[in-house]
Structure 1
Amino acid sequence: MDIRTEVWSPLQNTAVWLGAWLHGLTPTDNLVGALTDLGGEGLVGVLGDIRRTATGVAADGEPVLRLVLSGPGEAPALPAGGAAAEAASAGGLGALVLRDVDPLTSHILIPDAAGDWQWFVEDSPLPAPAWLSPGEADQLLTQATTEAARLVTASGYRTDALNSPRLTVGTLADFYDTPGLPAAVPGRAAKLFTRADRVAAIIETVIARMNDHRIDPQLLGLWRHVRAARMSGVAYAVREFGRLT
């Protein structure tokens, strides 16, 4: 199992860059550069279609673009059994949901490992997202991390490597943050992404880099909260972009 795909997806930053661009807060050249760094070159050819789809969407507080992530025991928040849900599950990288002027229509963009993208149109309501605020998502992630640490301590687990994984964790956190975020991203969203990156880096350090699986149950329980934090941060950032324009 690829641990990184469970705790990080390039679609987080892709969604934030696209949202800033759709709201006129970052130029096209900067967006294209970010997409190239994120492996999203396949979107460059459909940027015009993305803008046309989003033009005229009601500014009713719901973000024009949001991120959908899923993992073991958690199906993507897309119509069950549909082609989009199957593609998202198969790709494992997540999906971008773009609103339409028709409130019953959604456009779902899904990448695969080869860098190709599929565009699906859903004409029925999507499952309602959690709509966690950044504060709520941060609190849940913090609580889950604290509980995982308590369980690890109670298990009697000890390793010198776990006590000082700073270099590896720092390197991974830097990787997660590449190519960074647009300047307009709200501070609350950026803080939430940073916390999610650090928790994800700790998980990857222990499981993948140290190849130690004795505390997998404690660490794997954090995955869902890391994904929720990323989805919440994207929704908040894109919603705030809309309020700035």
Structure 2
Amino acid sequence: MHTRAEVYSPLQNTAVWLAAWLYNVESADETVAALTDLGGPHTYGSLPLSQLLYDVRSAADLESPEPVMRLVLWGPGQAARLRAGSPAMEALTQAGALVLRGGRGLNHILVPEYSGGGVDWRWFEDPEPLPEPEWLTPGEADRLLSQATDQAAMLIEAAGGTSRDLPNPRLAVGTLADFYDTPGLPAGVTPRAAKLFARADRVAATIETVTDRLDDHSFDPHLFALWRHVRSARMAGVADAVVDYRREYMRG
């Protein structure tokens, strides 16, 4: 199993860029460029990305007290917070989905499919209530991720470290951490969210370094337990950034 599919999420930054654009913090041109950097050319069925952006703006309830854009990630030990048996759930890939809050409580679910040729989006609507998200605060998500990371590192160090020359796996991740951070975040992202994203990126890079780059799978049970916390941190960071964009927007 390739680790990156579990710990890397281009949807994290995609969600934040879309929210920054919706709340007039970033321009459409900058947003399109960032989304292209994140996944290559985007299509929306037979339509271009511009039509997807138009539909997103038309559907979004920018004054909703809940985040207008929510990131949904899932994987081992963590169910996707979409309605079981719904068309959106059936279409879901490992990449996850975005939930756009519409008027009158309607949920619009954007499901991407990533391939070597770019990203193709599918749009679903669900009038039924979705399962409640975790709703972790950035502080809670950061604490859980930090605790899980320290515990995994202690277990690895107690077992004698990895079989290759990596005495402290948390330090040997520079180039991969840079990869996870590309192409960066839009303007106005809260320091709390940025810190959470950075920690999630660093933990993700650590896991990939140990399991895939060093081809050492002896500590997989310890490292795989971190996947859920990495995903939860990304979702909590997106929610915090989106809520803050709304707060500034409502202030006028």
If the length of structure 2 is used for normalisation, what is the TM-score? 0.91
Task: Identify which of 46, 50, 56 aligns with 2:52.
Answer: 46
**Residue 162 of structure 1: how far off its partner (Å):** 1.9
Q: 1:218 to 1:116 in 2, by over 3 A?
A: same
Query: Take 2:174 and 2:140, find their aligned partners in 1: how far apart are those partners?
Result: 25
Distance 1:232 1:113 in 2: 23
Match of 1:58 among 63, 69, 73: 63
Corresponding residue number in structure 1 for 2:113: 112
Residue aligned with 2:234, SS: helix
In structure 1, what residue type is equivalent to 2:233?
Answer: A
Give the structure with the higher percent strand.
Answer: 2
- Write the distance in 1 (CA, Å) between the matches of 2:180 and 2:162: 27
**Which residue does the alignment assign to 1:137?**
141
Alpha-carbon shift at residue 59 of structure 1 (Å): 3.3
8 Å contact 1:70–1:227 — kept in the other structure? Answer: yes
Retained in 2: the 8 A contact 1:151–1:218?
A: yes
> Which secondary structure state, in structure 2, belongs to the residue aligned with residue 162 of structure 1?
coil
State the Cα distance separating 1:83 from its structure 2 match. Answer: 1.7
Is the partner of 1:163 in helix, strand or coil? coil
> Letter of the aligned partner of 2:123 in structure 1?
W
* Mapping of residues 7-46 of structure 1, within 5 Å: 7-39=7-39, 41-42=42-43, 43-46=49-52
| 8 Å contact kept, 1:84–1:120 | yes
Aligned mate of 1:155, from 152, 159, 171? 159
Q: Give the counterpart of 1:209 among 207, 213, 225.
A: 213
| Inter-partner Cα distance in structure 2 for 1:223 and 1:166 | 15
If the length of structure 1 is used for normalisation, what is the TM-score? 0.93
Partner of 1:177: 181
- Specify the SS of the correspondent of 2:130: coil
Distance (whole Å) between structure 1 residues aligned to residue 241 and residue 186 of structure 2: 10
Gaps of 5+ in 1: none
| C-alpha displacement of 1:57 | 4.3
- Judge conservation of contact 1:57–1:101 (CA < 8 Å) in 2: no
- In structure 2, do the counterparts of structure 1 residues 121 and 193 end up closer, same or farther at CA, with 3 Å as the change threshold? same
1:163, CA displacement in angstroms? 2.1
Task: Decide whether aligned partners of structure 1 residues 158 and 7 sit closer, same or farther in structure 2, where only a CA change above 3 A counts.
Answer: closer
The answer as to whether partners of 1:8 and 1:176 remain within 8 angstroms in 2 is yes
Indicate the residue corresponding to 1:98 in structure 2: 100
Deviant stretches of 4+, over 6 Å:
none
Preserved contact between residue 10 and residue 38 of structure 1 (Cα < 8 Å): yes
More deviation, 67-76/216-225: 67-76
Structure 2 spans left out of the alignment, 5+ residues: 44-48
Aligned counterpart for 1:67 among listed residues 64, 67, 71: 71
How many residues are aligned here?
A: 240
Note if contact 2:164-2:214 (Cα within 8 Å) is conserved in structure 1. Answer: no
User: Contact 1:169–1:198 (CA<8 Å) still a contact in 2?
Assistant: yes
1:160 is displaced (CA, Å) by 5.0
Residue 73 of structure 1, CA deviation: 2.8
Question: Is the 2:70–2:238 contact (alpha carbons within 8 Å) kept by the matching residues of 1?
Answer: yes
